[in-house]
Amino acid sequence: MLSSGICLVPRKVQRIHSLICSSSRSFMDLKTLLSSLNDFASLSFAETWDNVGLLVEPSPPHTVNTLFLTNDLTEEVMAEALQKKADLILSYHPPIFRPMKRITWKTWKERLVIQALEKRVGIYSPHTAYDAAPQGVNSWLAKGLGACTSCPIHPSKAANYPTEGTHRVEFSVKHIVDLDKVMSAVNGIAGVSVTSFSARTDDEEHTRLSLNCTQKALLQVVALLSQNRQLYQKTEILSLEKPLLQHTGMGRICTLDESVSLATMIERIKQHLKLSHVRLGLGAGRTLESQIKVVALCAGSGSSVLQGVEADLYLTGEMSHHEVLDAASQGINVILCEHSNTERGFLSDLRDMLNVHLENKVNIILSETDRDPLRVV
């Protein structure tokens, strides 16, 4: 017998309430989502030639319930995304790369833009930002090699300078009267921070000034120095560098904990990428039993990143005929897996990472029709 304080709720009503509560939690404003995606992997990591970020934006406000992940956004994939009610498509490769002079129904990329705008679907591409990220595509590709230590072949630079300004100007002032004049003039220039310390040169005391300047402020400081040259001695102008990031950058150089045969490495890579075949270029004097200790890899088209790197094996999606010949002549083995086959598998890991990063606030799904355009027949 039920106590009088308990109220029964019909099962159908409970299900509706559950769906309402679930749907109320499962969305993000587009701008908020984009900010979170940038926190996950900053677009500043991308190469300067790349076209990354939000490529197609529906008129605001735009709410994202479903985030759709794909390696390439083709017309077939777009049809799938629309069928699955995607609000934002994250396409690893940017479908818009070269400038478009018109948006018509004539070419497939123009049609993608038209469909996205008509159906209010945003398109976002991270591309080389995800290549460089510590938890990105190249780090995922390295997981297939076995236990190893890895670091970027070409480390990225930090987004900001270690101190305020892009340049440092250092010079000496001998007399305290002159120092007051200099400090007054320098403090009148915006974008300059000043430190001073005592120094001794040739048994003579003087004050050393160190100015951190923005690019704009540097011009004013140099003008000041040129007008009052007699006050200053031993002037140095240093260009400040953004620090290199230890785990962020293009490509990976991977040193295995234990050497393995080339044949074993081939099988590991095929298993990791879920491929039945890869293309192999044997290095001069090498066999399938040759030992592999150092692997240089780059997802996608890696020749420019891998060029000149010392390794036992190059692993990438594609290289030109002559680039393979160059590597082989140096005794470097080459494994080619086709461009997007070295990238697509990362999307499963990405989905899991984004679910955590976005706190399950949006529904994240993987494309089922996205595939490499080339296959072995």
pLDDT by residue (tens digit) across 3-17?
334 344 444 444 444
pLDDT of residue 231: 64
Q: Which of 263, 280, 282 is nearest to 329 (CA)?
A: 282
Cβ count near 110 (within 10 Å)? 16
Q: Which residue has the tokens 């461009």?
A: 339
Q: Which residue has the tokens 């309402």?
A: 20
Cβ count near 264 (within 10 Å)? 15
pLDDT of residue 8: 43
pLDDT by residue (tens digit) across 156-210?
988 777 777 889 999 888 777 678 888 888 888 998 988 888 887 777 778 888 9
Its pTM stands at 0.81
Residue 346 structure tokens: 């990362």
pLDDT of residue 172: 85
- Which residues, given as ranges, of the chain have pLDDT below 50? 1-24
Q: What are phi and psi of 171, to 5 degrees?
A: -155, 165
pLDDT by residue (tens digit) across 230-248?
666 778 898 888 888 999 9
93 is in an annotated binding site: yes
d(CA 54, CA 44) in angstroms, rounded, equals 14
Q: How many CA atoms lie within 13 A of 224 on its CB side?
A: 20
131 is in an annotated binding site: yes
Q: How far is CA 14 from CA 3, 18, 25, 56, in A?
A: 20, 6, 17, 39
233-239/167-173 β-pairing: antiparallel
